[in-house]
Amino acid sequence: MDKPAVAVLFGGRSSEHSISSATAGGVLRAIDRDRYRVIPIGITRDGVFVLEDDDSDKFALDAAHLPEVVDNGTRVLWPEGGTDRLLHVRRADGTVEDLGTVDVVLPILHGVHGEDGTVQGFFDTLGIPYAGGGVLDSALCMDKHFMKIVLQAAGVPVSPWVTVSPARWAADPDGVRADAAALGAVLFVKPARAGSSVGVSKVHELGELDEALLVAFAEDDKVLIEAAIVGREIEVAILEGRDGARARASLPGEIVLTTREFYDFEGKYLGGDGAEVVCPADLDAAEIAAIRELGIRSFEAVDGRGLARVDFFLAADALYVNELNTMPGFTPISMFPKCWIASGMTYPELITELIDTALERAA
């Protein structure tokens, strides 16, 4: 127990539960066991914290059977706060075991109730250090409406959009359609607070808007209608600076679409054809420098901590930021790790970097 104890937290109540679980499989396989004592903690779809066995294969990404956290009868008992950092587990038979002091939490949670600042606030209240984004940047970047407002205020170009609520859609559908038409012929409709392209539709003509809004409202009660930017889809990975230094940006990567209309859930995680993750992207030195700088500026604009993936559209006339993800896809095949691997860092080193940055900040 002389090694720092890392609680790897995954699963959760959002629609991205399985992707978080698959991320855990990759992290549990790669984390440096010589350096850390690992405590795997899953959150079921109902929000129950359970102690998982340390079996990374159990959470392998399988398109035919996405992994998930199931209720195994255990209950993780978090420290009581103050100076207490002792973690306990109550087994299914009622016995309670001491799991030792938890030094840092690695919350690899995607979506609401995990990536939106809620779990970050929980650990802040308990005084337990954690890796990744804080309350503010997590909450801002989870809500694409407010994220765009903050980026715009910082002078970062974003695609034009309108935000729609169910109340406005019910009261003024013609006004919503008129606002959408003013954005252009081709649109994207997406939930404001979801990820992994869940609930996202591409609208080719205005007659498709109603159905797209229906799909998005099923995921969230705040929906964005965005102008479709014609350009290359470029992404860059950001890490918080160490010892007071500025944040760092990886080499950019690119989502190359062939037969797929956009980078949807199937293309990201289910092995669907027509989309390829390429890193490093084929860009000239000036483009790379501009993308890295704008990525860091965006991270700074939202008061970023830990890490983020910044997604861009590289159009003929300008570079636009699409969104920031404060806990991006972190499976070994995801863009964030691939960009850092292309930049000279291994997957295990990347996990170590996130944990050590959190421990350094806490110290």
Which residues are paired to 61 by β-bridges? Answer: none
pLDDT at 212 exceeding the cut of 90: yes
Task: Give the pTM.
Answer: 0.90
Whether residues 275 and 325 fall in one domain: yes
The answer to whether the CB of 197 falls within 8 A of the CB of 264 is: yes
What is the extent of the structural domain holding 23?
Answer: 5-130
In a domain, 94, yes or no: yes
Whether residues 56 and 184 fall in one domain: no
| CATH number of the domain encompassing residue 184 | 3.30.1490.20
In a domain, 339, yes or no: yes
Structure confidence at residue 314 as a pLDDT band (50, 70, 90): very high
Whether residues 208 and 97 fall in one domain: no
What pLDDT was estimated at residue 348?
96
Tokens describing residue 274:
């027509």
Whether residues 327 and 285 fall in one domain: yes
Mean of pLDDT over the chain: 92
Q: What is the average per-residue pLDDT within 302-307?
A: 97
Whether residues 309 and 267 fall in one domain: yes
- Domains in the chain: how many in total? 3
The answer to whether the CB of 250 falls within 8 A of the CB of 237 is: yes
**CA atoms of 279 and 132, how far apart (whole Å):** 23
In a domain, 135, yes or no: no
What pLDDT was estimated at residue 157?
97
What pLDDT was estimated at residue 8?
97
Of 112, 130, 148, the position where a domain reaches its end is 130
Whether residues 114 and 49 fall in one domain: yes
Determine phi and psi for 219, rounding to 5 degrees: -100, -30
Strand order in the sheet with 223-227: 161-164, 223-227, 187-191, 201-203
Q: What is the average per-residue pLDDT within 90-104?
A: 97
In a domain, 186, yes or no: yes
The answer to whether the CB of 132 falls within 8 A of the CB of 7 is: no
Whether residues 151 and 169 fall in one domain: no
Whether residues 245 and 321 fall in one domain: yes
Which residues 6+ apart lie within 8 Å of 299 measured at CB?
A: 238, 247, 308, 310, 324
Whether residues 286 and 338 fall in one domain: yes
In a domain, 32, yes or no: yes
Structure confidence at residue 65 as a pLDDT band (50, 70, 90): confident
Of 198, 227, 256, the position where a domain reaches its end is 227
pLDDT tens digits, one per residue of 154-202: 999 999 999 999 999 999 999 999 999 999 999 999 999 876 567 899 9
Whether residues 238 and 338 fall in one domain: yes
What pLDDT was estimated at residue 195?
62
Whether residues 152 and 179 fall in one domain: no
pLDDT at 355 exceeding the cut of 90: yes
In a domain, 118, yes or no: yes
Q: What is the average per-residue pLDDT within 13-35?
A: 92
For the ranges 16-25, 148-157, 271-280, 307-316, the lowest mean pLDDT is seen at 271-280
* Pairing between β-strand 104-107 and β-strand 5-11 as defined by DSSP bridges: parallel
pLDDT at 267 exceeding the cut of 50: no
In a domain, 311, yes or no: yes
Which residues are paired to 81 by β-bridges? Answer: 84
Tokens describing residue 81:
């706060």
At 306, which amino acid appears? G
Structure confidence at residue 270 as a pLDDT band (50, 70, 90): very low
| CATH number of the domain encompassing residue 94 | 3.40.50.20
- DSSP H helical ranges for 274-334: 285-301
Whether residues 183 and 243 fall in one domain: no
Of 199, 227, 255, the position where a domain reaches its end is 227
